[in-house]
Chains A and B, each alone.
Chain A
Amino acid sequence: MASTVAKIGERYAILALWGVMIAVYSVLEPSTFDTGGTVQTIFGSQAALVFLSMAFLCTVIVGEFVDLSVASILGLCATIVPVLNVLHHVNVVVASLVAVAIGVGAGAVNGLLVVYAGVNTIVVTLGMFSLLSGIALAIAHLSAVSGLSASFGQIALANVWGLPISFYYGIALTLAFAYVLAFTPLGRHMQFVGANREVSRLAGVRVQRIRFGAFVAAGALCGIGGVVVSAGLGGFDPSTSVTYLLPTVSAVFLGTAVVRPGRFNPIGTLIGLYFLATGILGLEELGLAGWISDVFYGAALIVAVTVTTLLRKRISA
């Protein structure tokens, strides 16, 4: 009994910490933090990070450490939509489809190089990160592109029970991903490929195909995420895509401390993401703007990866 309590306590410690953080901020800044606007900001403005962290999860679950290119794939896709639609007058639906296709293509290039050519994941995706960021800047002529129609913006901003619809996309995506991992043969194969490739191969799992598929799925999610983000913002500034990377990686690693300790999991990742968003918003409202997000996300990443490492050691001891 006591051990069950301890287990539950350990699994959801981060939720308690979240509660404490909210309480502290509410006391410190009752006028700004303790309002409905805060809830809207925390839950309503994270769509890009939700798509990114789920994309990142795809590859990290099958054992790829780590795909650094997700943020710039999303950035490129989010730039393509306004560039095609606003600058080149392409139909917005076509522009969106092109963006998703580019996302899939970028994921496939990652997959070909990492899985079939055997190049190191970090090297390939670091290169892709820089390459795609540069291309995004080039097609946008080094500046933000805006001017997407408000009706197109509704696919991200439509108000549903007080929150933008993109929030619910994130919830649905997370739950679907969690379902695949927990309840389908595909999810089981993904987890085993991540845990031990050779064991999986000898059990008849098509290891290479699953690894390649993970990169392609990550690219697709970045593509869709890019479309949603550009719709929500009415355009995109390609120079901001780099800022999405660290929160994504931090959230995914922080997620291993929740729900299924020591394992990468979608629901934990989502909780980690909102936890970080709360932390950063509170600090910004305290007046520590600008530099604070770099410090906070950097520290969070180190703490999160350390927690993951320690928890994983315990599982396979």
Chain B
Amino acid sequence: MSFIDFQQVHKTYPLGKTEVHALRGVSLQVDEGDFVTISGPSGSGKSTILNMIGCIDTPTQGDVIIDGIATSTLNDKQITCLRHQKLGFIFQNFNLIPVLSVYENVEFPLLLGAGKNDPYASWSAQEKRQWVQHLLQEVGLGDYANRKPAELSGGQRQRVAIARALATKPVLVLADEPTANLDSKTGDQIITLMRDMNQSLGTTFVFSSHDPQVLDVADHVVKIIDGQVDADYRTRTL
């Protein structure tokens, strides 16, 4: 069974007095450990698919199944727990909490409570501290732990966002156009970093991008045009 399973998903948004059909019957599957790119032009529905996978949006029609659970059957509290336990997020605008330091931003998801099945549920404060420091080392920001986000470059902020997304050891990390606000060199570094994390930790990565170069590093490419799947193929097998 696939880790992510979209079954004929439709999504309609109200826009003033009209409606926008963001998704028109999207079906796709993602396996655990995949490094998936969802590509397509602006307004094609990439972010909407990521929001559906991230359980922060719900389909108007069809089913989204994450790890065997149909998200439409969960209430707000259960969905929030699911996001916390299984998912990590990386945003185009980084969305770091400005009043927290780099270290505190990465630590933040660990402080939102833990379910009994969470990998960090039994960690001591010392173990949590070591894990956060390890993640910061991995993303190359070990010396920036006490800096505030405003003191970092765009690439450094996105590295913090990656470390934060991995803090709870999620099964799946979603990245919405993670390189869009970065120059090409820094963007390549970020993609490489995510790829390394995917391979070293076995975390599934799904990210949206309209950068053709990014497609080269993905295991699995889903092309979306006008809210429909235009192409869905694997570049290499897991």
Chains A and B form a bound pair: no
